[in-house]
């Protein structure tokens, strides 16, 4: 009887993995937060996905624009539910990030989402949905490229981004080791003037991983955009961080080609510290910051160490995650490891079946 109870508890705690993505499958494009400011980016992305052998289905809000949102919260939530309940849809990819995904949560039926598991991929403000699906539907989701930002890249998405997107979504084998990209970019070619259609962005050499604190850790990986997840403490969507590997990355600022002010980032880091997050985790991965000067980066590293100075867990800095190009896709909730001695970050478990 005791053994049966333990097995029952284990089953309840297991995450649901969606089916892998295959050629010919239908990918849903939804706009759960910001709307379509730049239609040519969506058109580019659809053309690319079609050329890769996928069908694409736009939902009603995909091409809408209502100020800083695509449409009302109810309309956006309706699209999310419709995508999960559509029997032909295999994967759901967010159009953009934004600031208002949190408004959709009260309109979502997480039990139905759990019963109809699909690949969900996005980053930035989509962290809100990643956390909600993880805590309320026990669903493995993917912190990775969005439609307009990565798949709309000219003349095509960056190869490193595609490599890890496909490794994460198209095979039931673990991704394995995640290597640093050889080159990266943060160059801004004004989309409003369609300068992004005139040439590929300039790439610069990647220095690789940097370890702010040495060590080794293994655990379930969880995380997202720092500016988004700090809106969730005190809600049912806030996860358990015990023995987890936490990844964080920071968004751009309020103006194009600007990073988020360091004073804000420092505040958010201390918020996690006060909440006890750093006292629970086994390791910390920090993504490459967007458009920071060399001195800003050094100060950010200093602040990360200051906010975590009570603890001994390893800290990896400069990962290709989030608001940087190219970017790796992170399956949220799977086993991962990090080791400064071997200079490795490894995803030990597949996020799909």
Q: Transcribe 283-316 into DSSP letters.
A: EEEEEPPSS--HHHHHHHHHHHHHHTTT----EE
Q: Which of 149, 167, 185 is the last residue of a domain?
A: 167
**232 and 143 within one domain:** no
Q: Which of 167, 200, 223 is the last residue of a domain?
A: 167
pLDDT tens column, 217-275: 999 999 999 999 999 999 999 999 999 999 999 998 877 678 899 999 999 999 999 99
**152 and 56 within one domain:** yes
Tally of domains in the chain: 2
CATH number for 323:
3.50.30.60
User: What is residue 202's DSSP assignment?
Assistant: P
Burial class from Cβ neighbours inside 10 Å (0-12, 13-18, 19+) for residue 26 reads: middle
pLDDT tens column, 46-67: 999 999 999 999 999 999 999 9
Assigned domain for 22 exists: yes
Give me the mean pLDDT over the 267-291 stretch.
97
Residues in Cβ contact with 97 at an 8 Å cutoff, skipping those fewer than 6 apart:
33, 34, 122, 123, 124, 125, 126, 146, 149, 225, 251
CATH number for 126:
3.40.50.10740
Report d(CA 280, CA 239) in Å as an integer: 12
Assigned domain for 172 exists: no
- Is this structure's pTM higher than 0.85? yes
pLDDT tens column, 117-133: 999 999 999 999 999 99
Report d(CA 243, CA 50) in Å as an integer: 41
Assigned domain for 1 exists: no
**198 and 306 within one domain:** yes
Q: Which of 139, 167, 195 is the last residue of a domain?
A: 167
pLDDT tens column, 82-94: 999 999 999 999 9
Assigned domain for 353 exists: no
257: helix, strand or coil: coil
pLDDT tens column, 184-198: 999 999 999 999 999
Q: Is residue 1 predicted with pLDDT exceeding 70?
A: no
- What is the pLDDT at residue 13? 53
Assigned domain for 5 exists: no
User: What is residue 192's DSSP assignment?
Assistant: G
State how beta strands 26-30 and 210-213 pair: unpaired
pLDDT tens column, 6-62: 444 444 458 999 999 999 999 999 999 999 999 999 999 999 999 999 999 999 999
Assigned domain for 7 exists: no
Q: Is residue 73 predicted with pLDDT exceeding 50?
A: yes
pLDDT tens column, 305-326: 999 999 999 999 999 999 999 9
Domain that holds residue 314: 177-347
């Amino acid at each position: 009887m005791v053994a049966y109870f333990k097995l029952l508890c284990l089953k309840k705690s297991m995450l649901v993995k969606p089916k892998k993505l295959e050629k010919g499958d239908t990918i849903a494009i939804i706009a759960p937060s910001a709307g379509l400011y730049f239609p040519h980016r969506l058109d580019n992305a659809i053309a690319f996905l079609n050329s890769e052998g996928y069908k694409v289905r736009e939902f009603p809000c995909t091409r809408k624009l209502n100020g800083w949102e695509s449409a009302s919260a109810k309309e956006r939530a309706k699209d999310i539910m419709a995508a999960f309940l559509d029997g032909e849809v295999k994967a759901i990819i967010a159009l953009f990030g934004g600031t208002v995904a949190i408004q959709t949560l009260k309109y979502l039926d997480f039990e139905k989402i759990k019963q109809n598991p699909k690949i969900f991929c996005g980053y930035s403000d989509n962290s809100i949905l990643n956390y909600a699906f993880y805590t309320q539907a026990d669903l493995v989701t993917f912190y990775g490229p969005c439609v307009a930002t990565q798949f709309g890249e000219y003349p095509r998405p960056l190869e490193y981004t595609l490599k890890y997107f496909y490794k994460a979504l198209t095979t039931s084998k673990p991704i394995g080791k995640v290597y640093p990209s050889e080159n990266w970019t943060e160059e801004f070619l004004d989309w409003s003037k369609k300068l992004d259609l005139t040439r590929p962005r300039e790439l610069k050499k990647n220095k690789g991983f940097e370890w702010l604190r040495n060590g080794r850790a293994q655990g379930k990986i969880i995380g997202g955009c720092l500016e988004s997840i700090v809106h969730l403490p005190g809600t049912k969507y806030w996860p358990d961080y015990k023995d987890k590997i936490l990844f964080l990355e920071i968004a751009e600022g309020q103006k194009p080609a600007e990073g988020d002010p360091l004073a804000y980032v420092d505040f958010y880091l201390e918020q996690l510290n006060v909440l006890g997050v750093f006292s629970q985790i086994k390791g910390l991965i920090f993504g490459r910051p967007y458009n920071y000067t060399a001195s800003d980066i050094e100060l950010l590293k200093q602040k990360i160490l200051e906010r975590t100075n009570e603890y001994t867990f390893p800290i990896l800095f400069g990962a290709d995650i989030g608001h940087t190009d190219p970017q790796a896709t992170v399956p949220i909730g799977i086993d991962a490891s990090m080791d400064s001695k071997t200079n490795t970050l490894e995803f030990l478990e597949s996020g799909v079946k």
